[in-house]
């Protein structure tokens, strides 16, 4: 991609105008913003119906209220890792897809992003669009309307179009709209929380009370379920890269982590409490039993808006990811392409053949890849003391600082493979249970084993194969 270092001033990233920068280096003259601005970005993306569903499913796992609450908090502690990753954005002035060339090499990074990261983005886009559309269908029915095929298609098109426009306009527009999304969603979800807390059974116990090994297995599975969502946001540098290079990394990390952690824990807790009084296997329908009739359409609209806010971030980073793979198109075009592909998959799932369960299963297993990736990133930050030259990393020639061994960082790929295999041995989902998990009575430890192995292998091999990268 381009090594353009000319300063276009603030015009390259303004609200209401299409962002002109993509994965290229952000010069000092275009840097702007404060670390606290990141809070709204991550809060808006995570005031999301999905967290209510996941919290409710923890009671289905057989956990009581306090065990489920523990799983929610522990699983969301991975937001600290996402915050630390974000601190690399201002230093590099580049998105995560470029910074990861340090970990996988120029060519290796293309393979990693193209085969493992980008498809996960597209799957999340399709799932979010489906969830938003289904909630939109329910709004029409709740208000007494009829759902003809043209109306269904219209709902999908409108929600997708709004999401795409914000994503295509880019960074500054996302930052501004995130504040609006955060305020609106916080008020509505706060009201939902009041209704749920008023009806919750704080003394709830599952039909079969877990203890000993089964309890720990259920708790580990719950943590894995929650952790997968926070680990999926390994694109946090994308939204911090416009901050001045001398911005406090602690402030960047703190505001990013809090923006994701607070709503994720709060909504997960709401889901847990809702699961004490209704069946959360069908949360959208079951929650109608808890909230007043007048509030139910509002709740459905919250789902629609929440999935849109979440997908804005997903589509934007997916477009940057596609550029980093090597597609020689402008960011606005790659975002548009990604979004349209997600819309096509969502429409196919909604109107032709329902394969949302298959997509969901793939995303459940994504923790096998996400955990090691985040661990490798954090390990590299530690080795380099978070020092990245974003301009140099934009060089993809054989003279690049990230060329390593024929374009591949052997340490990064070995760590990714060993970490992924280790995680697979300990994973436990509805579709697949690793042999180690089975031996441990179903305990899912993929969320800690995979990252730990990946980190150890990466640090050891980097010191052995590329000792000069450490400062």
| Chain segment 355-392, per-residue pLDDT in tens | 555 655 666 678 899 999 999 999 999 999 999 999 99
Q: Give the model confidence (pLDDT) of 2-35 as tens digits.
A: 444 444 445 677 888 999 899 999 999 999 999 9
**What is the pLDDT at residue 383?**
95
Which percentage of the chain shows pLDDT scores above 70?
94
Least confident of 212-221, 251-260, 388-397, 404-413: 212-221
Q: Give the model confidence (pLDDT) of 135-184 as tens digits.
A: 899 889 888 888 888 898 899 889 999 999 999 999 999 999 999 999 99
CA–CA separation, 271 and 283 (whole Å): 9
**What is the pLDDT at residue 461?**
96
Give 286-292's long-range contacts (Cβ < 8 A, gap of 24+): 287/52, 287/192, 287/196, 290/195, 290/196, 290/199, 291/192, 291/195, 291/196, 292/195
Give 330-338's long-range contacts (Cβ < 8 A, gap of 24+): 330/22, 331/19, 331/21, 331/22, 331/23, 331/170, 332/18, 332/19, 332/168, 332/170, 334/22, 335/164, 335/167, 335/168, 335/170, 336/164, 336/168, 338/121, 338/122, 338/125
CA quadruple 43, 45, 47, 52: dihedral sign: negative
**What is the pLDDT at residue 373?**
96
Q: Give the model confidence (pLDDT) of 68-92 as tens digits.
A: 999 999 999 999 999 999 999 999 9
Overall pTM surpassing 0.85 (yes/no): yes
**What is the pLDDT at residue 6?**
43
- Average of pLDDT values for 286-290? 85
Average pLDDT, the chain: 89
**What is the pLDDT at residue 1?**
42
Q: Give the model confidence (pLDDT) of 187-228 as tens digits.
A: 999 999 999 999 988 888 877 766 777 788 888 888 988 998
Q: Output 384 or 467, whichever has higher pLDDT.
A: 384
Give the pLDDT band (50/70/90) at residue 470. Answer: low
CATH numbers and ranges of domains, the chain: 34-365 (1.10.4160.10)
CA–CA separation, 123 and 129 (whole Å): 10
Contacts of 107 (CB under 8 A, 6+ apart): 406, 407, 408
The answer to whether the CB of 102 falls within 8 A of the CB of 388 is: yes
């Amino acid at each position: 991609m381009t090594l353009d270092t000319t300063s276009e001033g603030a015009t390259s990233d303004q609200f209401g105008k299409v962002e002109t920068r993509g994965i290229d280096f952000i010069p000092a003259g275009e840097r702007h913003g404060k670390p606290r601005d990141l809070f709204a970005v991550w809060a808006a993306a995570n005031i999301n119906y999905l967290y209510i569903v996941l919290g409710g499913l923890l009671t289905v796992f057989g956990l009581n209220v306090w065990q489920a609450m523990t799983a929610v908090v522990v699983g969301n502690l991975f937001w600290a890792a996402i915050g630390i990753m974000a601190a690399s954005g201002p230093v590099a002035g580049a998105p995560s897809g470029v910074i990861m060339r340090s970990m996988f090499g120029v060519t290796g990074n293309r393979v990693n992003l193209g085969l493992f990261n980008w498809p996960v983005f597209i799957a999340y886009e399709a799932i979010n669009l489906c969830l938003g559309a289904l909630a939109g269908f329910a709004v029409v029915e709740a208000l007494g309307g009829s759902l003809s095929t043209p109306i269904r298609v219209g709902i999908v098109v409108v929600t997708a179009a709004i999401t795409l426009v914000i994503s295509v306009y880019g960074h500054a527009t996302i930052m501004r709209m995130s504040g609006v999304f955060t305020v609106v969603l916080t008020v509505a979800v706060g009201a939902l929380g009041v209704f749920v807390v008023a009806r919750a059974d704080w003394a709830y116990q599952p039909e079969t009370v877990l203890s000993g090994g089964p309890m720990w297995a259920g708790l580990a599975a719950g943590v894995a379920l929650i952790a997968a969502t926070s680990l999926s946001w390994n694109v946090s540098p994308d939204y911090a890269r416009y901050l001045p290079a001398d911005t406090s990394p602690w402030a960047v990390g703190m505001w990013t982590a809090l923006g994701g952690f607070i709503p994720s824990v709060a909504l997960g807790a709401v889901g847990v409490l809702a699961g004490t009084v209704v069946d959360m296997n069908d949360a959208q329908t079951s929650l109608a039993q808890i909230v007043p009739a007048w509030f139910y359409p509002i709740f459905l609209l919250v789902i629609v808006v929440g999935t849109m806010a979440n997908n804005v971030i997903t589509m934007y980073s997916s477009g940057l990811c596609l550029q980093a793979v090597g597609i020689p198109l402008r960011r606005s075009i790659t975002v548009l392409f990604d979004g349209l592909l997600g819309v096509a998959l969502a429409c196919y799932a909604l109107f032709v053949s329902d394969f949302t369960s298959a997509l969901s299963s793939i995303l459940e297993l994504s923790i096998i890849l996400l955990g090691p990736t985040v661990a490798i990133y954090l390990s590299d930050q530690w080795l380099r003391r978070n020092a990245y030259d974003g301009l140099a990393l934009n060089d993809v020639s054989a003279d690049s600082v990230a060329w390593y061994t024929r374009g591949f960082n052997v340490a990064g790929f070995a760590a990714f493979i060993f970490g992924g295999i280790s995680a697979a041995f300990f994973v436990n989902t509805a579709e697949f249970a690793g042999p180690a998990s089975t031996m441990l009575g179903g305990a899912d430890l993929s969320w800690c084993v995979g990252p730990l192995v990946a980190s150890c292998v990466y640090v050891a091999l980097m010191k052995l194969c590329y000792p000069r990268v450490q400062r």
